[in-house]
Structure 1
Amino acid sequence: MKSIVLNSALENKIEIKEIEIPKLGANEVLVQIRAAALNHRDEWCRQGLYPGLKDGVVMGSDGAGVISVVGENVDKKNIGREVIINPAMHWGENQKAQGKEFMILGMPENGTFAEYVKVNFDRIHDKPKNLNWEQAAALPLGGLTAYRAVMVQGRLQKGEKVLVTGFGGGVAQFAAQYALAKGAEVYVSSSSSEKLDVATRLGAKGGFNYRNENWTNEALKMTGGFDLIIDSAMGDTLGNLIKVTKPGGKIVFYGATKGNPKDVDARKVFWSQIHLIGSTMGSDQDFSEMLEFVEENEILPVIDFVFGVEEAVAAFDRMKSGQQLGKIIIKFR
């Protein structure tokens, strides 16, 4: 089967390679992938910036397709079922946080950038009826991460004011869409006027260019501050987020692409009783609830560009450039 694997010896660090179709265990199924989606995680693996990297591993966490073969303990009625895959594995019993065995499909175990992928049957869910293959493939990792950040950790309520930073990437767009569907007053930030315009068309009430030194003053004047901020950058941007958070408000961050903050206005945090909350992926319960929410609210993932398998390097390069506006898709069929 055709697959996209990590190969650190090559200039582009990935290669399109024919490998054997995997054999199934008793509780596993083989999914014929129709479409898969890139995440920043995939590009970080290509750059050697992710732990546990192994050459020859099929990359990719997001995928949607059709069950073609089932293990002996899985009902054969599932063959032909249209599904999406939950890439969060071994979360554990604690809904509050993942266990030590937690891992994400696609590294170090073979992922979704292949014509077929084997997964445990408990990772399988019906493809939401309102989504096509590309949209379904875009949903799992980013959709789950955003759902936990906004709904579980952020405990968003209708009518609250929300700021989603770095609008343009998959998680941020899902976060904005979920908040809008929940009835929140949504604002976004980005360095791209085009991305801010797209957010407005999706229903955001306004946007801020975070490269503008006065964006915090503008935001406070326009909104009076935010009840909830969803962020993935951290670093020295945290100070600005604290400035625009209402007393008792929450800052939920699911990444730290800009590293650790050098200075934190601790007095502002404790005096205003601001909550700083970390969030990572999501539990099996979160994934099920996310799918219900997406289907009930007819949320459609924003697709940036669809590439063929042979265009894998171009797809990864687009992710690396940061030009994407929505999810980057690799189509297999």
Structure 2
Amino acid sequence: MQAVQITDHGGTEVVAYGEYPDPEIDDDEVLVDVKAGALNHLDVWVRGGLPGIDLEMPHVPGSDAAGVVREVGPDVTRFEEGDRVAVSAGVSCGECEFCRDGEYTLCTSFHIVGEHVQGVHSEYAAVPEANLIPVPEGVDWEVAGSSTLVFQTAWRMLIDRADLEAGESILVLGASGGVGHAALQIADYAGAEVYATGSSEEKLEYARDHGADHVCNYEEADFADWVRAETGKRGVDVVVDHVGGETWRDSIRALAKGGRLVTCGATTGPNPETDIRRIFWNGLSILGSTMATSGQVDDVMALVWDGTFEPAIREVLPMSETARAHELLENREGFGKVVVKPDSELES
């Protein structure tokens, strides 16, 4: 089969597309005929090399994909040949104390398809049954293959970890990115007053159209000053920060007394300076969040499948142009997800 492959850690020159051994499924796995997948910033980080993760090269990347079941292992009970499925990339042991409490993302051996193990950006992929969710008829492959990771991540951040309630105020940083555009829609759905940042008028217009009540171009203004001016110096109840080092201090500064900062990533660096005095004096909460539990995935994806939430897709490329997809993410070109499809799918 043909697959996207990272041949070494480095720039986009290490991304290739070519022959790769056909996958063989284990007893609890499903062989998926991949119709579409999508990139996340995680793919860029994996390509560059993540501390503590020693990958076998070549490595097939990709945490988002959807397709048709072609074969099932003898222990598989939830799916059969011909079913439409999407990948939910979080893998947990199911046995530790956190898994027994239903907090699968806190599992002591939690890992992610495409990051710690081989991914799904290939013509065929062997995926554990536990990491697949049904896709209803009528849902486009581009939607099914691009929405699971960011929408489950944003849902857990806002609904579970931050416990966002109707009438509260929330600031979503980078509202046109993957997690950002999902968080924007979920915040609006929850009944919050939504503040959002972006780097261009096009991105801000998208934010307005998808739930933002107030928008700020962070290239032209300090977003913390803007939020405090917009709220009469009060600040917002919740800040969604998946950016990291560059925004951390201002994210804390944008919070109202008793506010919550929820984070799932550190795109611009993992070790920011922090004003600890502001945290304890204002009674702030710093909340970490990763992926979602299986029940949370089911809840949010039902709202994607019925059209309540809409993944933004900036471009659809053949998998042979995955290096270009990496450039789109790194250069922040456009907004939403970059979808990749097997070349054979685009040729058929």
Identify the TM-score tier after normalising by the shorter chain: over 0.9
Of all paired residues, the percent bearing the same amino acid is 31
Q: 2 CA distance for matches of 1:30 and 1:262? A: 42
For the aligned residue pairs, the C-alpha RMSD in angstroms reads: 2.2
SS of the residue corresponding to residue 264 of structure 1 reads coil
User: TM-score, normalised to structure 2's length?
Assistant: 0.89
Q: 1 CA distance for matches of 2:194 and 2:249? A: 21
Q: 2 CA distance for matches of 1:244 and 1:161? A: 11
| Contact 1:6–1:54 (8 Å) recurs in 2 | no
1:18 maps to 19
1:4 maps to 4
Q: Could you list the per-position Cα deviations for residues 275-309 of structure 1 after superposition, in whole angstroms to 9, with x for gaps in the alignment?
A: 11111122223222222343456211010100012
Q: Which moved more, 1:266-275 or 1:58-67?
A: 266-275
1:34 aligns with 2:42: no
Q: 2 CA distance for matches of 1:278 and 1:9? A: 28
Q: 2 CA distance for matches of 1:286 and 1:77? A: 20
2:206 maps to 198
Q: Which moved more, 1:34-43 or 1:258-267?
A: 258-267
SS of the residue corresponding to residue 188 of structure 2 reads helix
Distance 1:54 1:192, change over 3 A: farther
SS of the residue corresponding to residue 290 of structure 2 reads coil
1:167 maps to 175
SS of the residue corresponding to residue 29 of structure 1 reads strand
Q: Which moved more, 1:81-90 or 1:123-132?
A: 123-132
Q: 2 CA distance for matches of 1:268 and 1:130? A: 50
2:61 maps to 59
Q: 1 CA distance for matches of 2:79 and 2:207? A: 42
**Cα offset, 1:119, TM superposition:** 1.0
Distance 1:91 1:250, change over 3 A: farther
Amino acid at match of 2:111: M
SS of the residue corresponding to residue 256 of structure 1 reads coil
1:46 maps to 47
Q: 2 CA distance for matches of 1:75 and 1:277? A: 36
Distance 1:80 1:129, change over 3 A: closer
Distance 1:231 1:247, change over 3 A: same
**Cα offset, 1:327, TM superposition:** 0.2
Q: Which moved more, 1:121-130 or 1:78-87?
A: 121-130
Q: 2 CA distance for matches of 1:168 and 1:330? A: 19
Q: 2 CA distance for matches of 1:9 and 1:237? A: 27
Match of 1:304 among 292, 314, 321: 314
Q: Which moved more, 1:105-114 or 1:115-124?
A: 105-114
Q: Could you list the per-position Cα deviations for residues 245-289 of structure 1 after superposition, in whole angstroms to 9, with x for gaps in the alignment?
A: 111111101112232455423222222211111111222232222
SS of the residue corresponding to residue 149 of structure 2 reads helix
1:231 aligns with 2:241: yes
**Cα offset, 1:326, TM superposition:** 0.1
Q: 2 CA distance for matches of 1:28 and 1:297? A: 29
Match of 1:294 among 287, 300, 304: 304
1:82 aligns with 2:84: yes
Q: 2 CA distance for matches of 1:53 and 1:320? A: 22
| Contact 1:37–1:329 (8 Å) recurs in 2 | yes
Kindly report which structure 2 residues correspond to 1:206-285, keeping only aligned pairs within 5 A, or say none: 206-223=214-231, 224-260=234-270, 262-285=272-295
Match of 1:73 among 72, 75, 80: 75
| Contact 2:4–2:320 (8 Å) recurs in 1 | no
| Contact 1:58–1:112 (8 Å) recurs in 2 | yes
Distance 1:214 1:29, change over 3 A: closer
Amino acid at match of 2:123: E
Distance 1:301 1:19, change over 3 A: same
Distance 1:105 1:313, change over 3 A: same
Q: 2 CA distance for matches of 1:217 and 1:271? A: 19
Match of 1:118 among 120, 123, 126: 126
| Contact 2:87–2:148 (8 Å) recurs in 1 | yes
| Contact 2:239–2:262 (8 Å) recurs in 1 | yes
| Contact 1:110–1:117 (8 Å) recurs in 2 | no
Match of 1:314 among 321, 324, 328: 324
**Cα offset, 1:76, TM superposition:** 9.2
**Cα offset, 1:17, TM superposition:** 1.8
Q: Could you list the per-position Cα deviations for residues 33-65 of structure 1 after superposition, in whole angstroms to 9, with x for gaps in the alignment?
A: 000000111112222346223211211010000
SS of the residue corresponding to residue 304 of structure 1 reads strand
Q: 1 CA distance for matches of 2:75 and 2:225? A: 60
**Cα offset, 1:91, TM superposition:** 5.9
Q: 1 CA distance for matches of 2:123 and 2:251? A: 43
Which blocks of at least 5 consecutive residues in structure 2 are unaligned? none
**Cα offset, 1:140, TM superposition:** 1.6
User: TM-score, normalised to structure 1's length?
Assistant: 0.92
Q: 1 CA distance for matches of 2:54 and 2:167? A: 43
Which blocks of at least 5 consecutive residues in structure 1 are unaligned? none
2:154 maps to 146
